[in-house]
Amino acid sequence: MVGVGAKMDWNEAVASGRAMLEGAERIRLPGAESGVELAGLDWGGEGELVVMHHANGFCAATLAPLAVMLRDRFRVVALDARGHGDSTPVKPGPANEGYDWETLALDSERAIAGVLEQTGRDRVALAIGHSFGGALLLRVAERLGPQIERLLLCDPVLLPPLTPEQIAMSSNGPGLAAATRKRRNVFPSLEAAYEHCRTRGLFADFTPEALALYIAEGMAEDQAGEATLKCDREVEAAIFDGGAFAAVAEGVGEATAQVLFVHAERGNFIRAYYEEVAGRMSNASVTGGDFGHLFPLESPATAVEFVKSMFEK
C-alpha cells in the first residue's frame, strides 16, 4: 500500500484528487423522507452500472481513486449518506433519530432507485459498500432483489449479537462514538487539515488523492478560509451508537445477489461471523487479505481485483 507520508504536498494531492472528479456529474437523489436528498457523483459512460457507498464519516468523493480505475468498463456512481458530503445535513435527535439503520438503508434504497431512473438502467450490475456502507447495501439488497445483481462488501459493519460488556469494548460501540465526539473538526484552512490528518494513524496509508478529497470535498470553507467537516461529529457518532445494536443481517436470505464479503485481516470484524451470515444466503462467499479496514482508500487496486473476480464467475 502507498501511504501519504511525504509523497505529495497539499497542492499536488488536491490537484491530483480533483482531476479524478473531472467529468463526474454531481447529482441529487431522493432520501427516505421529504426534504432529505442524497448527493452523488456520476462518472458517466455506457458500461454496466456500479453504485458505491462510503464508510461512516467519509464521502463519495473519497472513492474517486477506485471510480477512475473502474470507469473504463463501468458506469460508476458514488453516493453520499445523509449528513455526509453534499447530502442534506440532518441533525440527530435525542435518541439518534434520523440515523437508525432502517432510515439510512431506506435512504440508500430510494437513492439507488433514483440512480436507476436517471441512468435508464433496470438493475445495478455491482454495488460496492465499504464498512457502514457495506452494511447498508446488504440491507438494500434484501429489499431490491434482482435489481442488484452483485454485491461487494468491503469489511462491512456486521457484528454478532453482543452483551452490553462486549458492546462497550467493541470497535463499533459507544467507546468509538465517544472518541468521535471529541475529535477535532475545525481547522484554520484546508491545507492545515491535510497536514494534520496526514500525520494521524487513521489516514497514514491513504492514497494522497483519497485524503485530499476527504479534505476538499468532506470539509466546507467559510469566507475566512476556515475549514469544518461537513459530516458533523454528532452524525458520525450517532451512526456508531446505533451500529452495534442493529440486526443488520436479519433477512439476508432474501437477497438474490451474488455476494462477496471481504474480510480485512488487520481490521476489527470477525471473519467467522461473515461466514455464518454468508451461509444463510443462496450465492455468497467470503474472502480476505492482509490489509486493514480502510483498504479501499489505501489500495483501491486491491478492491479492483475483487471486482474483477466477481465478473469472472
Give 9-20 pLDDT, tens digit per residue: 999 999 999 999
Domain total in the chain: 1
| Residue carrying C-alpha cell 467537516 | 229
Mean pLDDT of the chain: 91
Inform me whether the pLDDT recorded for 72 exceeds 80.
yes
Whether 126 and 244 have beta carbons less than 8 Å apart is answered as: no
Give helix then strand counts, H and E, for the chain: 12, 11
Q: How far apart are CA 235 and CA 177, in angstroms?
A: 10
**Domain annotation covers residue 150:** yes
**Domain annotation covers residue 2:** no
pLDDT digits (tens, 9 = 90+) for 221-262: 999 999 999 999 999 998 888 654 456 778 888 899 999 999
Q: How far apart are CA 1 and CA 293, in angstroms?
A: 13
| Residue carrying C-alpha cell 485524503 | 211
For residue 48, the enclosing domain spans: 10-311
CATH of the domain at 295: 3.40.50.1820
pTM score of the predicted model: 0.93
**Domain annotation covers residue 177:** yes
pLDDT score of 241: 80
Task: Calculate the CA dihedral of residues 120, 87, 210, 196 and round it to 10 degrees.
Answer: 180
